[in-house]
Chains A and B, each alone.
Chain A
Amino acid sequence: MLSFVLKRIASAIVLIVVVSFISFALTWLTPGDPARAILGISATDAQVEAKRTALGLDQNVFAAYIGWVRGVLTGDLGTSWFTNQSVADSIATRLPVTLSITIVAILLAGVIGVGIGLLAAARRGAVDSAIQPFAVLGFAVPNFIVAILLITVFAINLRMVPATGWVDFGSDPSLWAKSIVLPVIALAIAATAAVAQQTRNAAIATMQQDYVRTLRARGLGTGSIYLKHVLRNSAPVALTVLSLQFIGLLSGAVVIEYMFALPGIGALTVGAATQQDQPVIQGAVITVVIAVVVVNLIMDLAYAWLNPKVRS
């Protein structure tokens, strides 16, 4: 197991290097002039040139990348060109926002989706008939349209929750919950639908396995069969969907972050990318990539835990 983890970490490092270089090069080679943008409208050409030199924009892309890597290795992610803020600090303040909404959304999707999926598989009938249209709509209706509806109904008409804004969990947990409830719902619907549908299909497939009939032949109750055996054997499918959904949300939450004025990592990335704020882009990119790698690793470990064949 240890060697498995080590191997995964090694390949993850390669992945991070490649991805970080690609994003570095893309940003670096993109036309545009951050120096001019930083200095504003009254700067002279000479000033802009001086700024370019100060930022190291006159280097070639490899030299610049190596410089950046060197910084990262010494624990220095650099400073934003535009806000002069430490990139590590920005990420540290913004990551909790994005993780709050994505993790809560995924947990919600996992619990509700698996529940609905199992119910549909076990009972068929109305729940099952509804699950397909739910899954289709969940996928097909863009989450920002869902968000518009949610905001209109719950924030504007009913005034139950704030329309926008972010409250730190530490400063007030109940306000934190209020501030994320709508974004979480907007994000969770599609994921719930996907999880429910996949769980349902997997559960039905599991229920057709010989061993389920054998368990029934042993006189086991329906509850025990579904909640123990069917659930356990359908779980890998649900986990796969959840992990894919989570990875999707990590960068896909940006639209929702914008709509709800949440200072998340997505908004940071897009803001930085539009300005070509290289240090921030790089910091955000490796944060997301590391998150993806970690999610995948956790997923592999969860598989191993669920599937005795992999474990041994």
Chain B
Amino acid sequence: MTVPPTTLALAATTVVDRRSTLHRLLRNPAMLIPAGVLLLIVLICALAPLFSLPAPGFADVTAVRQPPGAAHLLGTDSSGRDVLSRLLFGGQVTLLAGLTATTVTFVLGVPMGLAAGYYSGRLDSAASWLSNLIQALPAIVALLAVSVFIGSNPIAVMAVFGILMIPAMFRPVRAAVIDVRRELYIDAAKVSGIGDLAIMGRHILGVVFPVALIQTGFIFGLALIVQAGLEFIGIGEQGAASWGGMLGDAFKDIYNAPFLLLPPALAITVTVVCLILLASVGRDFISDGTTPAKRRRASRVRAAEAAAPPPSTHLLEVANLEIEYRLDGTDRRVVDGVSFSVDRGRVLGLVGESGSGKTQTVLGVLGLLAAGGAVTAGSAVFDGRDLVQLGAADLRGIRGREIGYIPQEPMSNLDPSFTIGSQLIEPMRRHLGLSRREARAKARDLLARVGIVDPDRTLDSFPHQISGGMAQRVLIAGAVSCDPKLIVADEATTALDVTVQAEVLDLLRSLIVERDIAVVLVTHDFGVVADICDDVVVMRSGNVLESAPALTLFTEPEHAYTRALLAAAPAHLSPREPKQLDDAPVILRLEDLEVTYPGRRGNAFVAVKDVSFSIREGETLGLVGESGSGKSTIGRAILGLAPVTAGDILWDGTSIATASRSARRALSSDIQVVFQDPYSSLNPAMPVEDILVEPLLIDPTVSRADAVKRVRSLLDAVHLPADAGRRRAREFSGGQRQRIAIARALSRSPRLIICDEAVSALDLSTQASVLDLFAELQQQIGVAYLFISHDLDVVRHIGDRTAVIQHGSLVEVGDSEAVATEPQDPYTRRLAAASPYPHPVVQAERRERRRAELATGP
């Protein structure tokens, strides 16, 4: 489960537009200059016959080693041949040879990489082995042997060099393909029934082509260098003019005619520099996102502007904070005059949807804004000092020591290369001056305090060896390790399963009381707010909409937006109208389904076992479980994207567990999918119309015009404007993209749509409207849903029945309302109890009940 990225991260990393990369590249000035120079070189060489030069082979024995002059602009060589003429005609030979090498590499390496990356498995192993083999071949011996075989013709030798360079093309292409293959839009295309070749052509080639092209630049450059090197050690075509040959000849004569060295050396160097420049600029361009345009120098408000911190009675008082980011040369204000305060022992909730500026606000206070960001106005007075005006060193003394920070995603916030212990010990030694042993002892106690059962082993573990919940506990331990006065927690529990979240919140609560800490908690979850916050600040678009004590906010929200947000919380969504479905035919039946993923060294992983359920026509079955429970795997198995190792899947009574590709293609008009991540499930570079038309055109009887007409009606059905079809997927917001994904799923009038966490990545308000859309569509066309979610409340709202899954097995299946209100299975009960209810009073009761239950029951 991921949370919508913050606006800025979003703006910076919005999925790279791949197909038009080439066009953008060509408009880049850094590309234009070398491209222009190259073109000039190629033109001059190609047009050499037009200049009235002596023939390149014309040897005047009476005029050898003539220095540059009027008769011979660049002089003559040791055989009395005109250097300029040889340079230009030699350019033809050299460039053609380089072109040969790159063409061979391209023509062989790209398909090889495509096939290996796309089909993986044995084909991939074979291709990779071949590539390794070629890499291990001593190139010199191979080139020598070949030059003897085929008479040292530079074109032929370079063709062989092209073969030797295949790994240089194969590897990046393969990697790029594997990268795209993981994108959900490829899965979506497969599910839509689109053939492999069409997928490769439409979705993969566009990504691979720029990679291959850029690699071609490097290989071309390398080919020229290697060719020159070969000529240099005497392996090359004799007599024929080529730059490498000229360089070799000149080198032999360097003592008597050093001026001969310059023209070929310059020609080779300039050409190669241009090629490499093109390639590197291109590579940076593709791999980028990483380099912010310009670093912002004055990253914090100047001290002179506000000499003394405004007096404050609060532990932290933020006043009129403004934060701007510079992107592509323009400043964008992301936080605009935010004020709030917090005291020891109190928890302040900073609430808002994605893009509201809540995370930027706390990062600004901590001085941890990403490159390009700066606090441009306001103050953040902490314990008498304005953090905004402190120098880097002073700030470092406060961070970690007096202010602890708990980040959102537990796994990505621990350095994967160091043990938990060393990461905990390092700040303690720095801030508290403890010895290694003291720090370790303290770290051990801390881990025990945050509820880690085996602290010693955890200290010696690496982050990948512990669970997400444990990692979050470790981060909390880290945040409190130096006894801070304030903790800033940025979506500290969002990435966790509800049961773990509840425990972590409990832990946090007890630490606050125990140590008298103030907390600023950034969250989008009103349940969490209700559970732990004393005061709440609601933010939207960088502004504070309202701030109030928690109870006031929930009972008398002042602002319409706040009310709308509260209403959109899943727990507040209305339960489902019961439907009469008993007479509807069963369309999908799972019988003792088992899915096992082959693991390394024979450790196969059983993701799903003995799962049986059925779905009737027009029914919505909610499938609820925590992360790793196997819920998504069930969906993927039905779609043919995960291997069924036992049991069966019946569609209209026919087994589809091991359906052939063609059978799958036929099924694609019946079963469709909407994935969780709207960013990766649509090819960002394709116009929406093309995305939606693609599955329709599989039916050869459908004309393009009909298909487009159908697309219009689909867009209408998902409430998108009619002109949306002409825009590219990347131009839409997350909610809109999810509507497009739904439209795609609907395009061939399926009878079942698998919604895999289809609303989890959306903001609350958007989530509610997309859920409405699902319900509306079902009413209109009678489609059935398998609705996979981690959120019991969401499933209760949309599902006719709910199935609960734990560790790959179903623990409970029943009427949604019943499962939600009177769960039978202890696990379901725990799940329901752990989910925080967005009202402080109700939540406090639930919490007590849960505690009581935990105390008594297993």
Name A's B-contacting residues (CB within 8 A).
15, 18-19, 22-23, 26-27, 29-32, 124, 132, 135-137, 139-142, 144-145, 148, 201, 204-205, 208-221, 224, 228-229, 232-233, 247, 251-252, 254-255, 258, 266, 269-270, 273-274, 281, 284-285, 288-289, 292-293, 306-309, 312
Are B144 and A274 within 8 A (Cβ)?
yes
- Taking a contact as CB atoms closer than 8 A, the residue among B269, B280, B405 that contacts A135 in the complex is B280
**From B465, which residue of chain A is reached at the shortest CB distance?**
A312
* Residues of A contacting B273 in the complex (Cβ-Cβ under 8 angstroms): 136-137, 140-141
* Bound Cα distance from A30 to B142, whole angstroms: 11
B566 to nearest A CB, angstroms?
30
**From A286, which residue of chain B is reached at the shortest CB distance?**
B138
A74 to nearest B CB, angstroms?
24
* Bound Cα distance from A144 to B265, whole angstroms: 10
Are B399 and A219 within 8 A (Cβ)?
yes
A8 to nearest B CB, angstroms?
12
Q: Do A224 and B138 contact each other (CB < 8 Å), given the known contacts A217-B368, A312-B465?
A: no
Q: Do A219 and B139 contact each other (CB < 8 Å), given the known contacts A142-B225, A309-B462?
A: no
Are A254 and B233 within 8 A (Cβ)?
yes
Scan B249-273; emit 1 where CB is below 8 A from any A CB, else 0.
0010010000001000100110011
Q: Which of B95-103, B129-137, B772-780 contacts A (4 or more CB under 8 A)?
A: B129-137
A304 to nearest B CB, angstroms?
12
Are A201 and B426 within 8 A (Cβ)?
no
* Bound Cα distance from A212 to B276, whole angstroms: 32
B255 to nearest A CB, angstroms?
11
* Bound Cα distance from A208 to B400, whole angstroms: 19
Interface-central residue, B141, B399, B401, B431, by most chain A CB under 10 Å: B141
Are A220 and B430 within 8 A (Cβ)?
yes
Name B's A-contacting residues (CB within 8 A).
132-133, 135-142, 144-146, 148-149, 218, 221, 225, 228-229, 232-235, 251, 254, 261, 265, 268-269, 272-273, 275-277, 280, 284, 287, 290-291, 295, 363, 366, 368, 370, 396-401, 405, 407-409, 412-418, 423, 426-427, 430-431, 462, 464-465, 475, 478, 482
- Taking a contact as CB atoms closer than 8 A, the residue among B140, B290, B416, B418 that contacts A201 in the complex is B290
* Bound Cα distance from A136 to B416, whole angstroms: 32
* Residues of A contacting B140 in the complex (Cβ-Cβ under 8 angstroms): 251, 254, 266, 269-270, 273
* Bound Cα distance from A19 to B235, whole angstroms: 22
Q: Do A217 and B366 contact each other (CB < 8 Å), given the known contacts A32-B148, A309-B416?
A: yes
A85 to nearest B CB, angstroms?
19
- Taking a contact as CB atoms closer than 8 A, the residue among B141, B261, B408, B427 that contacts A148 in the complex is B261
**From B244, which residue of chain A is reached at the shortest CB distance?**
A142
Are A233 and B415 within 8 A (Cβ)?
yes
Are B405 and A217 within 8 A (Cβ)?
yes
Q: Do A224 and B145 contact each other (CB < 8 Å), given the known contacts A211-B415, A217-B405, A255-B229?
A: no
* Residues of B contacting A26 in the complex (Cβ-Cβ under 8 angstroms): 141-142, 145-146
* Residues of A contacting B423 in the complex (Cβ-Cβ under 8 angstroms): 215
* Bound Cα distance from A288 to B276, whole angstroms: 28
Are B141 and A281 within 8 A (Cβ)?
yes
Are B136 and A289 within 8 A (Cβ)?
yes
Are A219 and B261 within 8 A (Cβ)?
no
Q: Could you jot down 25 A-B contacts, CB within 8 Å?
A: A15-B132, A15-B136, A19-B137, A22-B137, A136-B273, A140-B276, A141-B272, A142-B229, A148-B251, A210-B412, A219-B396, A219-B397, A219-B399, A233-B415, A233-B417, A251-B140, A269-B141, A273-B144, A273-B145, A274-B234, A274-B235, A288-B138, A292-B136, A293-B136, A308-B465
* Bound Cα distance from A161 to B462, whole angstroms: 50
Q: Do A211 and B414 contact each other (CB < 8 Å), given the known contacts A15-B132, A142-B225, A218-B478?
A: yes
Are B400 and A220 within 8 A (Cβ)?
yes
* Bound Cα distance from A288 to B275, whole angstroms: 30
Question: Which secondary structure dominates where chain B touches chain A?
Answer: helix
* Bound Cα distance from A254 to B133, whole angstroms: 21
**From B403, which residue of chain A is reached at the shortest CB distance?**
A217
* Bound Cα distance from A137 to B272, whole angstroms: 9
* Residues of A contacting B228 in the complex (Cβ-Cβ under 8 angstroms): 142, 144
- Taking a contact as CB atoms closer than 8 A, the residue among B144, B149, B408 that contacts A270 in the complex is B144
* Residues of B contacting A274 in the complex (Cβ-Cβ under 8 angstroms): 144, 234-235
Are B141 and A285 within 8 A (Cβ)?
yes
* Residues of B contacting A19 in the complex (Cβ-Cβ under 8 angstroms): 133, 136-138
* Residues of B contacting A309 in the complex (Cβ-Cβ under 8 angstroms): 416, 462, 464
Q: Do A255 and B233 contact each other (CB < 8 Å), given the known contacts A142-B268, A214-B413, A233-B416?
A: yes
* Residues of A contacting B141 in the complex (Cβ-Cβ under 8 angstroms): 23, 26-27, 269, 273, 281, 284-285
* Residues of A contacting B225 in the complex (Cβ-Cβ under 8 angstroms): 140, 142
* Bound Cα distance from A140 to B274, whole angstroms: 9
B269 to nearest A CB, angstroms?
5
- Taking a contact as CB atoms closer than 8 A, the residue among B133, B146, B409 that contacts A210 in the complex is B409
* Bound Cα distance from A214 to B228, whole angstroms: 50
B588 to nearest A CB, angstroms?
38
Q: Do A139 and B398 contact each other (CB < 8 Å), given the known contacts A204-B291, A309-B464?
A: no
- Taking a contact as CB atoms closer than 8 A, the residue among A137, A145, A308 that contacts B416 in the complex is A308
* Residues of A contacting B291 in the complex (Cβ-Cβ under 8 angstroms): 204
* Bound Cα distance from A151 to B126, whole angstroms: 46
Q: Which 9 A-B pairs have the closest CB atoms?
A: A219-B400, A217-B405, A218-B400, A26-B145, A308-B462, A218-B427, A219-B399, A140-B272, A273-B144
